[in-house]
Amino acid sequence: MSGWVPASRYPDPAIETLDPSFAKYRLFNAAVERIAAGMRWCEGPVWFGDGRYLLWSDIPNDRIMRWDETDDSVSVFREGGFANGNTRDRQGRLVTCEHGGRRVVRTEYDGSLTVLADRFEGRRLNSPNDVVVKSDGSIWFTDPPFGLGSDYEGRIARAELGAHVYRIDGGNGAVTLVADDVLGPNGLAFSPDERRLYIVESRGVPHRRILVFDVTGEGAIGNGRVLIDAGTEGTPDGIRCDVDGNIWAGWGMGSAALDGVMIFNPDGAAIGRIALPERCANVCFGGRHRNRLFMASSRSLYALYVNAAGVPGG
Residues involved in catalysis: 237
- Sequence length of the chain is 314
Own/partner contacts of 251-255, CB < 8 Å, gap of 24 or more, are 251/279, 251/280, 252/278, 252/279, 252/280, 253/279
Q: Which residues are annotated as a binding site for a divalent metal cation?
A: 43, 186, 237
- Listed in sequence order, the residues at least 6 apart from 167 whose beta carbon sits closer than 8 Å to its beta carbon are 138, 139, 140, 175, 176, 178, 219
Please tell me whether residue 80 adopts helix, strand or coil conformation.
coil
Alpha carbon of 277 to those of 26, 89, 296: distances in Å?
Answer: 20, 32, 12
Residue 280 is given by DSSP the state -
- Listed in sequence order, the residues at least 6 apart from 239 whose beta carbon sits closer than 8 Å to its beta carbon are 187, 188, 189, 198, 200, 210, 247, 248, 249, 250, 283
d(CA 83, CA 128): 9
Q: Which residues are annotated as a binding site for substrate?
A: 129, 153
Residue 83, Cβ neighbours under 10 Å: how many? 29
- Listed in sequence order, the residues at least 6 apart from 161 whose beta carbon sits closer than 8 Å to its beta carbon are 120, 123, 124, 125, 126, 143
Does the bond joining 45 to the residue before it have cis omega, within 30 degrees of 0?
Answer: no
Q: Which residues are annotated as a binding site?
A: 43, 129, 153, 186, 237
Work out whether the CA dihedral 87, 93, 94, 95 comes out positive or negative: negative
CB 236 within 8 A of CB 248: no
